[in-house]
Amino acid sequence: MFLRFPGRERGEPRLPLVNADTPGQFFLRTMLLIAVFALTAWAFWANTERRLADVRAASAVWDEADLLTDAQEKALRELVDAFREVHGVKLLIHIRRDTPQLPRLDAQTLFVGLCPAKGQAIVELPPLLRKAYGDALAQTLENDWLRPAMASGQWAEGLVRTLKYLWDRLGEN
């Protein structure tokens, strides 16, 4: 149950963690040991950050209809990261086969839901943006930007133009 370490006799010296013949060699080996631990900790931290960013990005863009190319999906994920880093707004994009459903959102999440097959769009602004820009902004984005783009079959370009317009509006203030 308990770990048992081999006992040592009364006069027997302890073995050092770092074996060295000279003080200089001892110092060098100690510093190398510390560097190995530090490098391992940094690599673990960097890997965790990268994996967390991958998970966050994968959940921000959901292409259920499988209409986006890999390049388009990657560009949208980079845009989602930029919205979060520059404006502090979480952007959530759903491209659905059926009618887009409004998920449960927190106070910082901007939601864009599309169904290109049916020409349906939902834009939900966070409360602070809704208060600053009014409900008319969400209606304008849905009716004047997204739906006409879907009607013409250029929904991906319309989505990008809509997000660019929103980016510019957020950058004004």
For 41, 102, 104, 165, the CA distances from 107, given in Å and listed in that order, are 34, 14, 10, 21
Residue 46 inside a domain? The answer is no
Residue 112 sits at φ, ψ, to 5 deg, of -125, 115
Q: Containing domain of residue 91, as a range?
A: 60-172
Residue 132 inside a domain? The answer is yes
> Nearest to residue 171, comparing CAs of 67, 83, 72?
83
> pLDDT per position in the chain (173 positions), as tens?
455 555 667 766 666 667 778 888 888 988 999 999 999 999 999 999 988 877 776 678 888 888 888 899 889 989 998 999 999 999 999 999 999 988 888 899 999 999 999 999 999 999 999 999 988 999 999 999 999 999 998 998 999 999 999 999 988 86
Residue 23 inside a domain? The answer is no
- 120-124/61-63 β-pairing: unpaired
Residue with tokens 């190398």: 32
Paired residues of 112 in beta bridges: 93, 123
DSSP string, 43-64: HHHHHHHHHHHHHHHHHHEEET
Residue 111 inside a domain? The answer is yes
Residue 80 inside a domain? The answer is yes
Residue 78 inside a domain? The answer is yes
Residue 121 inside a domain? The answer is yes
The CATH number of the domain where 161 resides is what? 3.10.310.50
Question: Total domain count for the chain?
Answer: 1
What pLDDT, on the 0 to 100 scale, is given for residue 1?
Answer: 47
Residue 17 inside a domain? The answer is no
